Amino acid sequence: MGFLGMKKWTESDTAADLVGNASEALLQPLAEEIKKVDEWSHDTSPAENVALVLEALVLPIVDDFIISLARPELLEDILNKTIKKLDWELEQVEKKQSDDEFVPDIRRMKKTCEKILKKVHKTWGVTT
């Protein structure tokens, strides 16, 4: 493709490569974090950590982030695992029948992950 302009990163091969590399580099620590065993503790869980990073760094640029990926199936896998673990957390709170003040936050994070996953499917059509 080469150089087409400077209005957007997609107009330059080099800029596109840099965005792709940066996007892929972000996924590796998220993939490692979501593999960790959930411990119901006073700290944020691996799923919550991943979801918070996705909300902060991916959601604001979700369309550009998704099209820049060389391996969208890795993001899909991270999202599926995160959603599953957040569901588990919500089930645990329901079993305890407690008024966990963070339930709305966990639900918000789950919805964020589902929104990103839907965009991955729409863009790439991947399903693991």
Q: What is the pLDDT of residues 76-128, one digit of tens each?
A: 999 999 999 999 999 988 887 777 788 999 999 999 999 999 999 999 886 65
- Residue 4, beta-bridge partner list: none
Residues counted in the chain: 128
Cα–Cα distance between 73 and 105 in angstroms, integer? 26
Q: What is the pLDDT of residues 2-49, one digit of tens each?
A: 677 788 888 888 888 898 899 999 999 999 999 998 766 678 999 999
In a domain, 2, yes or no: no
- Residue 12, beta-bridge partner list: 3
User: What domain range is 35 assigned to?
Assistant: 9-124
In a domain, 3, yes or no: no
In a domain, 1, yes or no: no
| Domain tally, the chain | 1
In a domain, 49, yes or no: yes
Cα–Cα distance between 78 and 39 in angstroms, integer? 18
